[in-house]
Chain A
Amino acid sequence: MNLGVEFCGVQFKNPVFTASGTFNSGREFADVIDLNQIGAVIVKGVSNKPWKGNVTPRIAETYGGMLNAVGLQNPGIDVFIREDIPFLRQYDTKIIVNIVGRTVDEYVEVALKLANADVDMLELNISCPNIKEGGVAFGVDPNMAELVTREVKKVAKQPLIVKLSPNVTDITKIAKAVERGGADGISLINTLIGMKIDIHKRKTVLGRKTGGLSGPIIKPVAIRMVYQVRQVTKLPIIGVGGIMTGEDAIEFMMAGASAISVGTANLLNPRATMKVLDGIENYMKTYNLLDINKIVGIIE
């Protein structure tokens, strides 16, 4: 049975990755699961300088999902390079660094610092607001998405995946834009913007009012978007959004994803990635599927 996948020229032992921001750099999970079993750890978003993140409450529960407004709190690229890369390199898994920024220059600065670092890939999180353009997310404007991809690609020494925001009217336009910008792969979807009101207190539950919706509730949207993007580009896709089980993962792969990321499920059960991996294996056994790559994009 072959679980190995190739993605942007890099070989992974299996298609199960961790979704950025739900796994930190793996430390919290290292005692309870064997990190060697994970295809790749996509680490929490890293910025050029430390970011404080948002006010609390940062978390709200919603039907079949959750809202988060963590605000990308992170200690910055220097600390990441010094502490997290050596930690993750103790394990036989790939390292994919999720990059965040508020300007094109900030993204570029992180990619530059990573150019000589021992990491396997970059994932550009373009759901961040562009402060020079009135806070509009890079990922909702094809021109901005293309520009930031191109500038980062110029300095990047590792394959560059761009992670798309689902908060757009036509995801295929953004996918084509980042392809023009030089992306080597696409990851989707990031969280859907949502809001929750405490009707007893007459105010929003989240301190920042709005937050990103994730969890099983968003899976159908993510599947649809993976499927749509698959139709318009040959770039390989990492599918993410509400994956809780191996069956969910298979569904994403059939829609067109070559690999998948487990996100919110990690928060609900620290062993979620292992459960997904077991589920994929079980599916393969049941259907006598010898190579996982054979199902990628089989839905016409």
Chain B
Amino acid sequence: MCYNPLNKVKCRVVHNNEIVPNIYDMSIDVGEMVKHINPGQFVNLYVKGGIHLLPRPISICEVNKKEKTIRVIYAVVGEGTKILSSRQKRDSIEVLGPLGKGFEISKGKGNILIVGGGVGTPPLLELAKILKEIYGEKVKLTIVLGFKNDIFLVDEFKNYGDVYIATDSGRQGYKGNVIEMIEDKLLPYIDTIDYLYSCGPTPMLKGLQKFNIKHSIKGEFSLEERMGCGFGACVGCVIPIRNSVNKDSINLTKETMKDNDYIYKKVCKDGPVFDCLEVIF
């Protein structure tokens, strides 16, 4: 029978550990799902209990086809993720997915810049892995990761490219945000960049969009929005997408845009990955 991502699957937690304060690393045995995942896709995790009904959308950080597991890295920010963090090995968990469209892998040749921020970095790990697997020497990854204070996943990214770190606190790597760091340390590389992939908090992506315009960099962003379903049914998770990308429209914001300037697209189904210039912040 063919696999259908909209059939909820009851899965087993393989492990679930706190890797740095408040950030958890969980592996889930998802069976056949592993064969159908593109980097950048996400799963809905259900907390259950009758109180928390809505899905928790979490990006797939890594796929292990042999073990039939996926790995997710998540921050505990509210009640749902708090409950998730208490799940233990062999506990069951309901999973729906993979959902959404992932990154455009075909664009990932040549000099690639990957920019991740905080819990936006996880999906970029599977991306880096797949790009290297497919393109090998034909792709060179420059990976810039930003964190508040504690860093994670950094060593694993080092398997796939040159990694640069920025932390807000300055505890590790460059003190400042990723854009400041790129402008300060990596500017000579910028002209050689063929394509960019990024995922992280909205302020970072907003800044990065300005940066991309300034340096004429093409690429794509993975975004977040509150979700009611995760598969296109509720029209809850929309973001405005520019009708056209040009000098005038590029400065539009959510506050200044007019009806004719944009259309709404669904983060869960049309995304979560979008062209980096088309998104209106």
Contact = CB atoms under 8 A, between A and B. Distances in A.
**Real complex partners, A and B?**
yes
Interface of A: 21-24, 28-29, 31-32, 44, 52-53, 55-61, 63-66, 68, 70, 73, 215-216, 264, 266-271
A295 B234 CA distance: 32
A32 B6 contact: yes
A264 to B, nearest CB: 8
Interface in B152-200: none
B105 interface: no
Of B51, B232, B239, chain A has the most CB atoms within 10 Å of the CB of: B51
Given A31-B4, A56-B239, A73-B264, A66 B54 contact: yes
Contacts of B55: 268
A64 B53 contact: yes
A55 B254 contact: yes
A58 B50 contact: no
Contacts of B238: 53, 56, 58, 73
A56 B226 contact: yes
Interface string B41-68: 0000010001111110000000000000
B226 A57 contact: yes
Contact of A61 (B52, B232, B233): B52
Contacts, number: 95
A53 B226 contact: no
B228 interface: yes
A268 B236 CA distance: 13
Given A53-B235, A58-B237, A270-B233, 10 more contacts: A22-B233, A22-B234, A28-B231, A32-B4, A59-B227, A59-B237, A66-B228, A70-B236, A267-B228, A268-B53
Interface in B189-234: 225-229, 231-234
Nearest to B79: A61
B259 interface: yes
A51 B153 CA distance: 43
B258 to A, nearest CB: 11
A267 B233 contact: yes
B6 A31 contact: yes
B232 A59 contact: no
B36 interface: no
A229 B40 CA distance: 49
B53 A68 contact: no
Contacts of A23: 233
B8 interface: yes
A56 B234 contact: no
Contacts of B233: 22-24, 28-29, 266-267, 270
A24 B53 CA distance: 20
Contacts of A52: 259, 264
Contacts of A64: 50-51, 53
29 contacts: A22-B234, A23-B233, A24-B232, A24-B235, A29-B6, A32-B4, A32-B6, A44-B235, A53-B235, A53-B238, A56-B226, A56-B238, A57-B226, A58-B228, A59-B54, A59-B226, A59-B236, A60-B226, A61-B53, A64-B51, A68-B228, A70-B234, A216-B50, A266-B233, A267-B54, A267-B234, A268-B54, A270-B7, A270-B8
A59 B228 contact: yes
Contacts of A267: 54, 228-229, 233-234
Contacts of B51: 63-64
Interface string B1-24: 000101110000000000000000
Contact of B235 (A32, A73, A268, A271): A73
A270 B269 CA distance: 14
B200 to A, nearest CB: 18
A268 to B, nearest CB: 5
Contacts of A58: 226, 228, 235-238
B77 to A, nearest CB: 10
B8 A269 contact: yes
A61 B8 CA distance: 20
Nearest to A72: B235
Nearest to A71: B235
B162 to A, nearest CB: 36
B33 to A, nearest CB: 14
Query: Quick one: which of A21, A23, A44, A70 has the most chain B CB within 10 A?
Result: A70
A44 B8 CA distance: 24
Nearest to A21: B234
Contacts of A21: 234-235
A52 B238 CA distance: 10
Contacts of B226: 56-60
Contact of B264 (A53, A65, A66): A53
A265 B27 CA distance: 27
A76 to B, nearest CB: 13
Residue among A24, A59, A65, A68 having the largest count of chain B Cβ atoms under 10 Å? A59
A80 to B, nearest CB: 14
A73 B264 CA distance: 9
Contacts of B6: 28-29, 31-32, 270-271
Contacts of B53: 61, 64-66, 215-216, 264, 268
A215 B4 CA distance: 25
A142 B254 CA distance: 38
Contacts of B225: 56-57
A56 B202 CA distance: 14
A260 B239 CA distance: 33
